Structure 1
Amino acid sequence: MKLKKADEMEKYQSDQSAKNGFIFYTVALLIWSMYDFFIKGNSGWQFTILLLGNVVYFWSRAVYNRSMNK
């Protein structure tokens, strides 16, 4: 099976899809953790997952930015 290399349009579409997915999961986890915090008194695992996801995103973005600027 041979895979073709993505062109600029496919890269753009993939980037936009990843951005929209990241925003959706961030907002959904934030709303869920806030709901649990106000109803149950603790934010649960969803807030931890939200924080870890944001840490991974911003750390990997910083690493890629540094590697591109060298």
Structure 2
Amino acid sequence: MRLRKADEMEKYQSDQSAKYGFIFYTIALLIWSAYDFYAKGNSGLQFTILLIGNAVYLYSRVVYNRKMNSSQK
């Protein structure tokens, strides 16, 4: 089995799927941690996972944005 490079449509579909998956997990973890905060008095591990996931996302966006801007100059 040989891997091939994805075309534009496959890249678009993959990007959309990743975006909606990220949004779902973010909202689900936020609701779960808010429920635990009000029910138990602490936000639990799910809020930590949410913060780390968003930090990784934002850091990777900054890194890729800088790479794209430096390669265009």
**Residue equivalent to 2:54:** 54
Give the aligned partner of residue 40 of structure 1. Answer: 40
Residue 3 of structure 2 aligns to a residue whose secondary structure is coil
Q: Distance in 1 between matches of 2:5 and 2:63?
A: 24
Q: Structure 1: 5+ residue runs without aligned partners?
A: none
2: distance between equivalents of 1:3 and 1:36? 44
Count of residue pairs brought into register by the alignment: 70
1:9 aligns with 2:9: yes
Structure 1 position 22, deviation (Å): 0.2
Shift of 1:26: 0.1
TM-score by length of 2: 0.95
State the Cα distance separating 1:68 from its structure 2 match.
Answer: 0.5
The ranges of structure 1 where at least 4 consecutive aligned residues each deviate by more than 3 angstroms after the TM superposition are: none
Aligned to 2:23: 23
Q: Structure 1 length as normaliser, TM-score?
A: 0.99
The root-mean-square deviation of aligned C-alpha atoms, in Å, is 0.4
